[in-house]
Amino acid sequence: MAQTQHKKTARSALLLAAVLLVSLLGGCGSTTGSSGVPAASPAPAAASQPAVTATAQPAATGNEYRAAWITYLEYQTMDLATEEAFRSGIATAFDNLQAMGITTVIAHVRPFGDALYASSIFPWSHLLTGTQGQDPGYDPLAVLVQQAHSRGMRLEAMVNPYRVRGSATTPPQLATQNPAAQYQADPAKADWVIAVGDGLYYNPGIPEVQQLIVDGVREICENYEVDGIQFDDYFYPEGADDSFDAAAYAQYANGQPLAAWRRQNVNTLVQNVYATVKAARPAATFGISPQGNNDNNYNTQYSDVALWMSDGGYVDYVMPQIYWGFDYRTKSGRDDYAFANNLQYWLSLPRAAGVKLYIGLGAYRIGVGEGGSNDAAEWSSGENLAKQVAALRSAGADGYALYSYRWLFANTQPTAAAEVAALTAANE
């Protein structure tokens, strides 16, 4: 999507001043994942930055990116037994989002090394029938694309690139045709998948694994009229034993330090996916929604997000998950995680021509906050998300996405409806 333009000279001047100010500042972010309920995680201290004013902000322009996630957690609350039931549920969701002013839906299509679409590479998702690999008798991604395009909305397919299993029950059992199960059954390939507690992940250091992920993206782009591909923030699995990739490191690192080699593996995958998307569907976008805490991205997930932003050929956009409020403080009183400060940090990072910065917003905070020292009140105001949208518009970000649908339209918190009304008004 094109970057938001301020049509009036006064607004342009304000934006230029903000950009000049941002270039002098630094900050820090958050740790979260858009396909599960995020949790805060401390990062190294960073200098506090001036807050972005959330009043008297410009309205959205016609080319602003306005999105919402529909994740596997939404699917778990829907009737997926038949195409008719799924279509009905999706139609209701898309109608609700469109009425709020949302123009793009980011829909989960491969949450656990499986597929909510017809694939010759990955098995059918267990979310559809309860059994991974069992044909549901319809194609959910085809329904998603049709329902979005019939409303003039965009549909981006969200993929978790490495995650195979999130817990002992998601999924409860891998299909025999699942590539991960086949790797596990082959002693020569047993380290191509990594167990972390009850979770299971592909090993990012294996070239064949990287190619598997690239081929999966190509299949989606060639077979479906998706408007984009988005990767979630799960790259190297957090909590894995450092020895998990020792064999791959010995074979492929060529003497590089371990951390640098791991980042290179992720960078290579991102570059190859970007090239694949552009070759298979040139008009489609490829974006990544990393953690809002860029220290964690770099040092824990080995994701060099700043490089992807500054150098061409990696992404069309980055969407950091800034899921904290304006008033958030850590228990020690630090404010470097607060929304305005985190936003300024991401805006300060250099971007190559054409690379957009969208902001992930945490609708799941409505009514509950983060649990910090003093942010609960703002999340009960009924307008906090709208204020964040106003702030990011004023600061010059290119758009936003809301995590996620159910926290807006199936939320028992008393202020959820007011948040939807405020967002609707902000998008008019």
Kindly report the three-state secondary structure assignment for every residue of 187-220. Answer: HHHHHHEEEECCEEEECCCCHHHHHHHHHHHHHH
Q: Which residues of 266-276 are buried (b: 16+ CB within 10 A; e: fewer)?
A: bbebbbbbbeb
Confidence tier at 19 by pLDDT (50, 70, 90): very low
> Which positions ≥6 away from 272 have C-beta within 8 Å?
210, 214
> Which positions ≥6 away from 255 have C-beta within 8 Å?
none
Percent of the chain residues past pLDDT 90, beyond the cut: 79
- Order of strands, edge to edge, in the sheet holding 193-196? 163-165, 199-202, 193-196
Residue the block writes with tokens 């010995």? 250
Cα separation, 72 vs 54, whole angstroms = 32
Does the structure show a pLDDT above 60 at 59?
A: no
Q: What does the block give as tokens for 334?
A: 């630090």
Cα separation, 54 vs 37, whole angstroms = 26
Cα dist from 385 to 45, 55, 69, 326, 426, whole Å: 26, 13, 15, 10, 10
> Which positions ≥6 away from 339 have C-beta within 8 Å?
52, 322, 324, 325, 326, 328, 388, 391
The mean pLDDT value for 102-125 works out to: 98
Q: Which domains does the chain have, with CATH numbers?
A: 9-159+205-426 (3.20.20.80)
Q: How many residues does the chain have?
A: 428
Whether the CB-CB separation of 178 and 162 falls below 8 Å is answered with no
Mean pLDDT, the chain, whole residue set: 87
Residue 61's pLDDT is: 60
Summarised one tens digit per residue, pLDDT across range 334-391 is: 888 899 999 999 999 999 999 999 999 999 999 988 766 567 889 999 999 999 999 9
Confidence tier at 238 by pLDDT (50, 70, 90): confident
Q: Using the Cα atoms of residue 309, residue 314, residue 318 and residue 321 in order, give the sign of their dihedral.
A: negative
pTM score > 0.85 for this model? yes
Cα separation, 182 vs 185, whole angstroms = 5
Cα separation, 217 vs 273, whole angstroms = 7
Q: Using the Cα atoms of residue 278, residue 280, residue 283 and residue 287 in order, give the sign of their dihedral.
A: negative
Angle at 276 between CA 222 and CA 270, to 5 degrees: 135
Residue 234's pLDDT is: 85
Confidence tier at 240 by pLDDT (50, 70, 90): confident
Helix (H) or strand (E) holding 305: helix 305-310
Higher pLDDT, 40 or 146: 146
Amino acid at 182: Q
Summarised one tens digit per residue, pLDDT across range 65-90 is: 999 999 999 999 999 999 999 999 99
Cα separation, 36 vs 332, whole angstroms = 27
Q: What does the block give as tokens for 318?
A: 């980055």
Does the structure show a pLDDT above 90 at 148?
A: yes
Helix (H) or strand (E) holding 361: strand 356-362
Whether the CB-CB separation of 117 and 142 falls below 8 Å is answered with yes
Confidence tier at 62 by pLDDT (50, 70, 90): low
Amino acid at 228: G
> Which positions ≥6 away from 133 have C-beta within 8 Å?
123, 124, 175, 176, 177, 178
Summarised one tens digit per residue, pLDDT across range 164-205 is: 999 999 999 999 999 999 999 999 999 999 999 999 999 999
Summarised one tens digit per residue, pLDDT across range 289-343 is: 999 999 999 999 999 999 999 999 999 999 999 999 999 987 888 888 899 999 9
Residue 373's pLDDT is: 56
Amino acid at 237: P
